[in-house]
Amino acid sequence: MRMITTEKINETIYNALDEINQLLPGEKKIQKTEGEILYGSGSRLDSLGMVNLIVAVEQRIQDELGQSIDLTDEKALSQKNSPFLTVKTLSDYIASLLNN
């Protein structure tokens, strides 16, 4: 199967962030950079915001890449390093799901 590139996955995450940002006030909007903190210390998202982002990313992956993934199953939550810290960690985790 063709590899899905990091660029493509990042683009999908950014599209999901666009979706979420439209619902957030100015100071809470999430930057579209790899280093942006998503969850944990310094995060601008609360738990509901995070859950919404995860669902938005899942739906975007489904819509744009035609693949169904679960980002909050046991596997995701039992990762040594949380996939939800930054855009990069999330992108890497999604790549590992899609390309394995």
Partner 1 sequence: MHLDFLISGFEKNRDKTALICDDKKFSYGDLLDNFYFFKKELLINRNIHSGSLVLLEGDFSFNTISLLLALTDNCCIIVPLNSSSKSDRNELIDIAGIEYVISLNDSDEAEFKSTGFSSSHELIKIIRERKNPGLILFSSGTSGKPKAAVHDFSGLLKKFRTKRDSLVTLNFLLFDHWGGLNTLFHTLSNNGTVVTTSDRSPDNICRLIEKHKIELLPSSPTFLNLLLMSEANKQYDLRSLKIISYGTEPMSAVTLKKLNSELPDVKFRQTYGLIETGVLRTKSKDDNSLWLKLGGEGFEVRVRDNILQIKSESNILGYLNYPAPFTEDGYFITGDEVETDGEYYRILGRKSEQINIGGEKVYPGEIENVIREFDNVADAVVYGEKNPVTGNILCADVKLFTDENASEFRVRLKKFCQSKLSKYKIPARINITEEINYSERFKKKLKNQSGP
Stretch that binds partner 1, among 1-9, 30-38, 57-65, 87-95 (CB under 8 A): 57-65
Q: Rounded to an integer, what is the distance from CA 42 to the centroid of its chain?
A: 17
Residue among 22, 68, 81, 100 that touches partner 1 (CB under 8 A): 22
Phi-psi region of 14 (alpha: psi -120 to 50; beta: other; left: phi over 0): alpha
Site for partner 1 in 58-97 (CB under 8 A): 59-60, 63, 72, 74, 77
Beta bridge partners of 86: 37
DSSP state of 79: -
Binding site for partner 1 (CB under 8 A): 15, 19, 22-23, 47-48, 50-52, 54-56, 59-60, 63, 72, 74, 77
